[in-house]
Amino acid sequence: MSTSITAPATPFLITPDTTVGALVAARPALARLFEQLEIDYCCGGKQTLAAVCARRGFDVATTITLIDSTHAALMAGPAEVDAAAMSLTQLADHIESTHHAYLKSELPRLVEMAERVAIKHSWRDARLPQMAAAVTMLAGEILSHMQKEEIILFPLVRQIERDTGDEISRKELACPIRQMESEHESAGDLTAQLRELTDNFTPDTESCNTHRALLAGLADFEADLHRHVHKENNVLFPRALAAATH
């Protein structure tokens, strides 16, 4: 899987007269915040912050502060943990509470946006239906993958560290681990296909704000996938196999 490089964010001064569409165009990751606040940044993108806040009963200054702080947090990215220093149980718990939780929340959002963009804009980019289909397939595969990890593999990994008298053999672990690694490869292939279909997750001049938010979300997904798979393939799985009985 390739590693994406994110360019530094361009300074962007927010005022009450700034339109929500201009905000998301400049900072696509803010789409999540506007969705949480139920602010229409796509079709309603020409609205100013002042007009939106007046209609929703929000204080403009407080909203601008919230937007700035949210953007700063997003740009800082998640704090990375020392996976190698964790116990097997701690690492499995961490993967579930961070990467799995993120994916369960984010994948349905990406699927919905991909389908909406494909329906509305395939007339100008024939690749959009294929892109939406790939997002849907990827989401289905990953949700199924996580369920298998949480129900089958991770309980075995945790059991290795528990003094229950029930020993887990390498043979018991090897089969599900091979399956998970194969599914990681499939996810990587689909993500690479998405990168190709979207010109490296790059919007063009005609991309609407929903399209821009989708591309930003896919880039974030790819970055998270790299960290997620690394913690499993390179840390959790080898250590679990080494700790299992012969």
Q: Which two tokens stand for residue 85?
A: 């220093």
Average pLDDT over residues 211-234: 92
Helix (H, G, I), strand (E, B) or coil at 165: coil
The packing angle between helices 101-121 and 209-230, to 10°, is 150
User: What percent of the chain clears pLDDT 70, i.e. is strictly above it?
Assistant: 91
User: What percent of the chain clears pLDDT 90, i.e. is strictly above it?
Assistant: 61
**8 Å CB contact between 53 and 238:** no
Average pLDDT along the chain: 87
**Interatomic CA distance for residues 213 and 106, integer angstroms:** 12
Q: Which two tokens stand for residue 82?
A: 């020392």
**pLDDT tens digits for 51-67?**
999 999 999 999 999 99
Structure confidence at residue 31 (pLDDT): 81
Q: What is the 3-state secondary structure (H, E, C) of 21-84?
A: HHHHHHCHHHHHHHHHCCCCCCCCCCCEHHHHHHHHCCCHHHHHHHHHHHHHHHHHCCCCCCHH
Report the sign of the C-alpha dihedral through residues 134, 137, 142, 145, in that order: negative
**8 Å CB contact between 227 and 80:** yes
Domain ranges of the chain: 20-76, 83-243
Structure confidence at residue 108 (pLDDT): 96
Task: State the pTM of this model.
Answer: 0.77
**Interatomic CA distance for residues 177 and 243, integer angstroms:** 14
